[in-house]
Amino acid sequence: MIGGLFIYNHKGEVLISRVYRDDIGRNAVDAFRVNVIHARQQVRSPVTNIARTSFFHVKRSNIWLAAVTKQNVNAAMVFEFLYKMCDVMTAYFGKISEENIKNNFVLIYELLDEILDFGYPQNSETGALKTFITQQGIKSQTKEEQSQITSQVTGQIGWRREGIKYRRNELFLDVLESVNLLMSPQGQVLSAHVSGRVVMKSYLSGMPECKFGMNDKIVIEKQGKGTADETGKSGKQSIAIDDCTFHQCVRLSKFDSERSISFIPPDGEFELMRYRTTKDIILPFRVIPLVREVGRTKLEVKVVIKSNFKPSLLAQKIEVRIPTPLNTSGVQVICMKGKAKYKASENAIVWKIKRMAGMKESQISAEIELLPTNDKKKWARPPISMNFEVPFAPSGLKVRYLKVFEPKLNYSDHDVIKWSSSTFREHLPGPSTQIDRPCGSSGSRLSCLCSVTTHAATEVQNQGTSTIKLLFCWCLTTCIIS
Amino acid sequence: MTVGKDVSALFPDVVNCMQTDNLELKKLVYLYLMNYAKSQPDMAIMAVNTFVKDCEDPNPLIRALAVRTMGCIRVDKITEYLCEPLRKCLKDEDPYVRKTAAVCVAKLHDINAQLVEDQGFLDTLKDLISDSNPMVVANAVAALSEIAESHPSSNLLDLNPQSINKLLTALNECTEWGQIFILDCLANYMPKDDREAQSICERVTPRLSHANSAVVLSAVKVLMKFMEMLSKDLDYYGTLLKKLAPPLVTLLSAEPELQYVALRNINLIVQKRPEILKHEMKVFFVKYNDPIYVKLEKLDIMIRLASQANIAQVLAELKEYATEVDVDFVRKAVRAIGRCAIKVEQSAERCVSTLLDLIQTKVNYVVQEAIVVIKDIFRKYPNKYESVIATLCENLDSLDEPEARAAMIWIVGEYAERIDNADELLESFLEGFHDESTQVQLQLLTAIVKLFLKKPTETQELVQQVLSLATQDSDNPDLRDRGYIYWRLLSTDPVAAKEVVLAEKPLISEETDLIEPTLLDELICYIGTLASVYHKPPSAFVEGSRGVVHKSLPPRTGSSESAESPEAAPSAGQAAEQPAVIPAQGDLLGDLLNLDLGPPVSGPPLAASSVQMGAVDLLGGGLDSLLRSDVGGSPAMGGSGFTAPGPAAPAGMGAPLGSGLGDLFDLTGGVGTLSGSYVAPKTVWLPAMKAKGLEISGTFSRQVDSISMDLVLTNKALQVMSDFAIQFNRNSFGLAPAAPLQVHAPLAPNQSVEISLPLNTVGSVMKMDPLNNLQVAVKNNIDVFYFSTLYPLHILFVEDGKMERQMFLATWKDIPNENEAQFQIKDCSLNADAVSSKLQGSNIFTIAKRNVEGQDMLYQSLKLTNGIWVLAELRIQPSNPSFTLSLKCRAPEVSQYVYQAYDAILKN
């Protein structure tokens, strides 16, 4: 198991050192500093073995977190734990920086004592931890409170405490998708997959039971032809999900047997699920780059983007980022639409368009002056990237329903569910995105990454059963073309 | 926390603050105690009172805190006081306290294992597995697993269907970490039949959708392991295979560090069961922003998945990668193209043309790497792509790395008859002969000799020049030897020389870098752990007893496997013959025991053990002969034939014997070594300071009929080391390397490589002082280094060192008394049976055992590789930890070293 945990700053000075096992000596701290932080070459592996001691490290801004062990530990678990540790620290004091760590070091030691016992990770849900690890000094709790804390920390629903109360019960749902696209130089799509995340923000009272449904092909097919009339409406009714993973609050055995997603949500923001699809991906934009080298000191770039969706829909906040070589001395840009600027600090031309309807195209051309260099190091030719918002999801994912049921407080009811699913269809054209990108001078290879955010907010008000209002807003489609 | 200052002086003052009501402050005081108690053990006692009091506190948080902290204070005196509070906390009403106490048992066990056993904590811990709270169960499982690991023999975690059922229930309810503990523990369970395996698999499968990658990987481990037991005809088997792919692919969208862990594991899974991911090639395509370690791993997996169906895509990708910026990555990509050519025959032509395109880029390292792989392609498809040689020759001047130069020279020599100016080309290399690395020198020598044999008329001068350079001006023994051999061959019989030098070469195999099957099976049992990241068994990087237990995949049950593993058949036949022989020998021994040397003490147990001995012996021999007759298989592969105990094997032999043999078969299958010969820990033989940065540590080991020298070479210098070679000086027992020292890749700075060098005893003999002294010379591209080491004599004890009983008596009397030497083996607490089984592992055979006036007398024999017999009498008094060892031998000078071997074996 984990033998010790160290946190270093960028210079390699130890900020936090907590040793759990006897086999980890004092010299382990230095061994890592010398061999990894101060190593001359780039780090070639996140796992390093120095003198029979294994070090796992992750880096957050310029802070190094390293876990040490001498045993054959579960490596995946150690990394998962390190990420979790970062999440917990972020939840407590914001950004992980040297200053924040120094200011909170008592707190960090306290956390380390609680979430790692003899190298075994224990409950590390922030919600639960915050009930008894506070920075205010614990007021003497009553006996009930104490046992409530312990039963929560060890209980089956360790991620949520009892007795949460909100005046307004609200639940927000975001669908964020990123498209990864690989194109051949001829413009043929080699592979494309969407990895999506469903992020929830829940502000609900009590212990609500939630049920989440989407247009998953398997479920739809199971339900049979009863809903056959619906299929005609929007063409693509269901999507084939290749794989999905869930937050620990979701009952996996239930998903396995019935494919229904039911859970008691933690309070606040969390990632409910991740999914991956590869079939029938809608690509909203097409990027066609042309790069021409004119002599050794000049580069001509032309980029065309074409929107590839229904003309009635609008894409917004489009931002195209065209990387330029490091030895760029000046850039002249001409674009037909939107604004474009060369940002020397970022080594890129940034082109912004506020709105663009479907089935349109726009282009930018730029002349890049280069300083002659004899630097032999090649330019890595980073990909062109693109961000935008569109009102549909590339994967075609749609939220079918989100049911909330709280047995004691009773702020939810069947009406909500029906209502919500119908509103959804009309209002939420769903967001989606697509991208392509070209790279470097030859323009030979395109691979794209695009992310889309669908944002649906469900507001459930606790004013009796009939006046429940649902709001859906969609938002943010971000797409990075890599 | 203290900015590096030692604040232990404040100990008494801090302890005074312990009894505060402020929980925050209390925690800080406890933290202080954990850090400093060890340096002030006497003062730490002062804290005990408060701990005991806190363990009774009404607040469960404080009770847990106290018991948690006490376990972390590693002071012997404190542990005694810990027992009572711990016992209470294990039965506490609050689950938070119980789960903390469960871990505390593991802590205490680490400090004082005996205490934990005496106090009966282990039983309490076992009870906690049935606790109502899932988190308590998870922690108890974790603690028990850890304790069980340090006692491989004890049956602590005796998993049975009932307890497995409890664990599976808790699995659905506990935290993500708890699920990992439980899944890792489940992986150690051996289901009794395929039906049970399937039902466990069914209940573990939902975990594949967990957001925590470690849970997913641990679940994959359980499934991969239990899948072994399922019949391939089963529908469920196919379903399971299908279910495994998506989660593995999803792991690739995790954070980069986890991707790395996942990829290393996928590499293993792909080798074990290629069918799982064969359609998923695309997900392993490298992304622009992947960290370099992810890129390199993805590349590896791409090659493993390459097949005729997807080769076009793979090649297009690889070609793209070859134009990237990172040098290592580019090199690996170029090499990968070559490996594709060798793996997928239909694609060879395209690969070669891709490589030629890359050579046209004239990027130095790309060209060199391409030439190295083209050499391999030539060896796989001889006489097919020679048209490219011209292109290669154009780049001759740009080659500056030894490997590329050697490859090029090999090509020129091999195809000398088709290259018009081969002599000029080789001559140009010859100019700087002495500056070249050994690899190039050797290659150049061979190439020129080849050239001479092909075009004798015009190259006579050249060949003489190179021969004289190699033999007269070089101080490298390998080079000199090779030079002399060629010279003599050429001068005595040119026709024979032609046959030798220009002999038909065997084709190289498709996959050269596959992990050896037994190791692969073991690593599959370690999915998700460090072992699977390093691709090494835990014993290679874990100290002490932990992790030394070898894990092996469960044998497949069901009916179909006898057809699919033809190797099972011969092993079954082998086993079936044995029953007839073994009882005979057992009887014989039994009879012999009654003959003289007093009455047998305990008939049945002794007889049983001797039967087993006989079985070991026979099996050893049998295994050897099987291995030798095995045409191409490596020893380990031959051994793996035994993993599946064919259903026919136990049938037809007596029940007890059958089970005995079954055990033995497990032994062979799992580890590949039959006799558990004692291996001393590695020691540093050649410190880095003395050898320009090369550190060598090593040890000797003996496995069935073979001695090997296990070396670890560590490069502590700043430059890359390559071209390793090893030689021994003449020594007392004629030890000599049986194979050249194989270091496949150059050793980069701060890297180490482990090598097992097989030895034989047919070298030339010279008596050394001390007798077991071995002088070794190791060479690399930097220099030649010398060191000497003492090898333990027991590596020379041969398997047939068991003397017949009468023989023993006769010989004992025959050897004059002045040849007898007596030694004391001190501080050894083993009993007679343990001693004899331990010694037997190292080929010291107990011939008889006698009990005289409460003392156990063991009569033993052993034989050295050069045929010297050593007879021993070992006297063990139950009350006295010192044994008396009397050795008789015709060559009394070995006695002292035999004693040293005894001493080492018994104390380890």
Q: What is the CA angle B697-B702-B705, rounded to 5?
A: 145
SS3 string of B673-711?
CCCCCCCCCCEEEECHHHHCCEEEEEEEEEECCEEEEEE
A282: nearest Cα among A372, A361, A181, A379: A181
Residues of A in contact with B174 (CB under 8 A): 156
Question: CB neighbours (10 Å) of residue B332?
Answer: 20
- Same-domain check for residues A400 and A362: no
Q: What is the CATH number of domain B683-791?
A: 2.60.40.1150
Residues of A in contact with B751 (CB under 8 A): none
Beta carbons of A79 and B21 less than 8 Å apart? no
Is A290 an 8 Å CB contact of chain B? no
Q: Are the C-beta atoms of B181 and B144 separated by less than 8 Å?
A: no
**Could you tell me if residue A406 is inside a domain?**
yes
**Could you tell me if residue A449 is inside a domain?**
no
Residue A405 CB contacts under 8 Å (≥ 6 apart), including other chains: A208, A209, A210, A211, A412
Question: CB neighbours (10 Å) of residue B827?
Answer: 9
Residues of B in contact with A180 (CB under 8 A): 287
Average confidence (pLDDT) over A117-128: 86
Q: How far is CA B907 from CA B165, B834, B859, in A?
A: 42, 12, 19
Give the orientation angle of helix B161-171 with respect to helix B194-204, to 10 degrees.
10
- Same-domain check for residues A367 and A407: no
Q: Quick one: which H or E segment has residue B339? A: helix B327-343
Average confidence (pLDDT) over B666-690: 61
pLDDT digits (tens, 9 = 90+) for A28-46: 888 888 888 888 777 778 9
Which 220-239 residues of chain A touch chain B by CB within 8 A? none
Is B282 an 8 Å CB contact of chain A? yes
Nearest to A154 among B136, B218, B313 (CB): B136
Which of A54, A86, A154, A379 is the best mutation test for B, with the most CBs of B within 10 A?
A154
Q: How confident is the model at residue B148 (pLDDT cuts 50, 70, 90)?
A: confident
How far is the C-alpha of A110 from the C-alpha of A128, rounded, in Å? 14
**Could you tell me if residue A190 is inside a domain?**
yes
Average confidence (pLDDT) over B58-85: 84
ω into B892 cis (within 30 of 0): no
For this complex, say whether ipTM is above 0.85.
Answer: no
**Could you tell me if residue A113 is inside a domain?**
yes
Q: Where are the domains of chain B?
A: 1-158, 306-398, 401-492, 683-791, 796-907
Beta carbons of A72 and B282 less than 8 Å apart? no
What top-level class would CATH report for the domain B796-907?
A: alpha beta
Give the predicted TM-score (pTM) of the model.
0.68
**Could you tell me if residue A271 is inside a domain?**
yes
pLDDT on residue B3: 56
- Same-domain check for residues A251 and A339: no
- Same-domain check for residues A29 and A76: yes
- Same-domain check for residues A335 and A349: yes
**Could you tell me if residue A69 is inside a domain?**
yes
**Could you tell me if residue A102 is inside a domain?**
yes
pLDDT on residue B101: 92
Q: What is the CATH number of the domain that holds A91?
A: 3.30.450.60
Residue ranges at the known binding site of A: 339, 341, 343, 352, 354
Q: What is the CATH number of the domain that holds A249?
A: 2.60.40.1170
Most confident of A139-153, A170-184, B95-109, B848-862: B95-109
pLDDT on residue B223: 92
pLDDT on residue A399: 76
What does the DSSP 8-state code read for residue B145? H
- Closest chain A residue to the Cα of B111, Cα to Cα: A22
Residues of B in contact with A54 (CB under 8 A): 530, 541
Question: CB neighbours (10 Å) of residue A415?
Answer: 12
Q: How far is CA B897 from CA B186, B775, B823, in A?
A: 46, 17, 11
Sign of the alpha-carbon torsion through B281, B283, B287, B289? negative
Is B117 an 8 Å CB contact of chain A? no
Phi–psi pair at A15, nearest 5 degrees:
-95, -45
Tokens of B707: 């001695």
Is B249 an 8 Å CB contact of chain A? yes
Percent of chain B exceeding pLDDT 90 equals 9
- Cα atoms found within 13 Å of the Cα of residue A467, Cβ hemisphere only: 6
Q: How far is CA B644 from CA B228, B517, B665, in A?
A: 11, 14, 9
Beta carbons of B206 and A17 less than 8 Å apart? no
Q: Are the C-beta atoms of A272 and A263 separated by less than 8 Å?
A: yes
pLDDT digits (tens, 9 = 90+) for A89-107: 998 988 899 999 988 888 8
Measure in Å the smallest separation between the Cα of A329 and chain B Cα atoms. Answer: 23
Q: Which of A56, A89, A124 is the last residue of a domain?
A: A124
Average confidence (pLDDT) over B345-373: 87
Please count the structural domains in chain A.
Answer: 3
Measure in Å the smallest separation between the Cα of A60 and chain B Cα atoms. Answer: 12
B440: nearest Cα among B506, B381, B368: B368
- For residue A428, pLDDT over 60 is answered with no
Is B103 an 8 Å CB contact of chain A? yes
Residue B817 CB contacts under 8 Å (≥ 6 apart), including other chains: none
**Cross-sheet strand order for the sheet of B883-889:** B820-825, B883-889, B869-876, B855-863, B845-852
Domain assignment of residue A201, given as a range: 170-219+238-281+394-426
Average confidence (pLDDT) over B159-175: 85
Which of A7, A105, A245, A385 is the best mutation test for B, with the most CBs of B within 10 A?
A245
Is B327 an 8 Å CB contact of chain A? no
Is B391 an 8 Å CB contact of chain A? no
End-to-end Cα spacing for chain B = 41
- Same-domain check for residues A276 and A289: no
How far is the C-alpha of B48 from the C-alpha of B323, rounded, in Å? 67
Tokens of B634: 């490596």
A407: nearest Cα among A255, A243, A207, A171: A207
- Same-domain check for residues A11 and A119: yes
Residues of B in contact with A255 (CB under 8 A): 206, 209
Q: Quick one: which H or E segment has residue B635? A: helix B635-640
Q: Are the C-beta atoms of B729 and B777 separated by less than 8 Å?
A: yes
Most confident of A474-478, B29-33, B158-162: B29-33
**Could you tell me if residue A242 is inside a domain?**
yes
pLDDT digits (tens, 9 = 90+) for B499-531: 888 887 777 766 667 788 888 988 999 999 999
How far is the C-alpha of A253 from the C-alpha of A250, rounded, in Å? 9
Q: Quick one: which H or E segment has residue B715? A: strand B706-715
Top pLDDT among B271 and B633 is at B271
Residues of B in contact with A76 (CB under 8 A): 213-214, 216-218, 258, 261-262, 528
B257: nearest Cα among A273, A178, A18, A44: A44
Q: Are the C-beta atoms of B796 and B867 separated by less than 8 Å?
A: no
Residues of A in contact with B206 (CB under 8 A): 252-253, 255-256
B527: nearest Cα among B186, B109, B63, B128: B186
pLDDT digits (tens, 9 = 90+) for A225-284: 444 444 444 445 678 888 888 888 888 888 888 888 888 888 888 888 888 888 777 777
Beta carbons of B181 and A120 less than 8 Å apart? yes
Q: Are the C-beta atoms of A116 and A3 separated by less than 8 Å?
A: no
How far is the C-alpha of A57 from the C-alpha of B270, rounded, in Å? 26
Nearest to A253 among B22, B184, B206 (CB): B206
Torsion angle (degrees, nearest 10) of CA B575, B579, B582, B584: -150
Q: Are the C-beta atoms of B742 and B801 separated by less than 8 Å?
A: no
Nearest to A83 among B110, B255, B533 (CB): B255
Beta carbons of B96 and A74 less than 8 Å apart? no
pLDDT digits (tens, 9 = 90+) for A320-362: 888 888 888 888 998 888 899 998 888 889 999 988 888 888 9
- Same-domain check for residues A177 and A266: yes
How far is the C-alpha of B3 from the C-alpha of A14, rounded, in Å? 9
Tokens of B763: 């070298």
Residues of A in contact with B361 (CB under 8 A): none
Tokens of A157: 């629903």
Which 418-447 residues of chain A touch chain B by CB within 8 A? 439, 444-445, 447
pLDDT on residue B41: 78
Nearest to B288 among A47, A377, A383 (CB): A383
Tokens of B711: 């070396």
Percent of chain B exceeding pLDDT 70 equals 84
Which 445-504 residues of chain B touch chain A by CB within 8 A? none
Q: Are the C-beta atoms of B454 and B442 separated by less than 8 Å?
A: no
- Same-domain check for residues A386 and A398: no
- Same-domain check for residues A299 and A276: no
Beta carbons of A77 and B289 less than 8 Å apart? no
Measure in Å the smallest separation between the Cα of A466 and chain B Cα atoms. Answer: 36
Q: Annotate B820-848 with DSSP letters as a single string.
A: EEEEEE-S----HHHHHHHHHHTT-EEEE
Which 186-225 residues of chain B touch chain A by CB within 8 A? 203, 205-207, 209-214, 216-218
- Same-domain check for residues A200 and A115: no
Is B546 an 8 Å CB contact of chain A? yes
User: What are the start-end ranges of the H helices in B73-212?
Assistant: 76-90, 95-111, 113-118, 121-128, 134-150, 161-171, 176-186, 194-204
Is B122 an 8 Å CB contact of chain A? no
- For residue B221, pLDDT over 90 is answered with yes
What top-level class would CATH report for the domain B1-158?
A: mainly alpha
pLDDT digits (tens, 9 = 90+) for B291-340: 899 999 999 999 888 888 888 888 888 888 888 888 889 999 998 998 88
How far is the C-alpha of A399 from the C-alpha of A239, rounded, in Å? 11
How far is the C-alpha of A371 from the C-alpha of B850, rounded, in Å? 93
How far is the C-alpha of A482 from the C-alpha of A447, rounded, in Å? 6
How far is the C-alpha of A275 from the C-alpha of A438, rounded, in Å? 27
- Cα atoms found within 13 Å of the Cα of residue A39, Cβ hemisphere only: 14
3-state secondary structure of A274: strand
Nearest to A156 among B103, B173, B546 (CB): B173
- Same-domain check for residues A399 and A277: yes
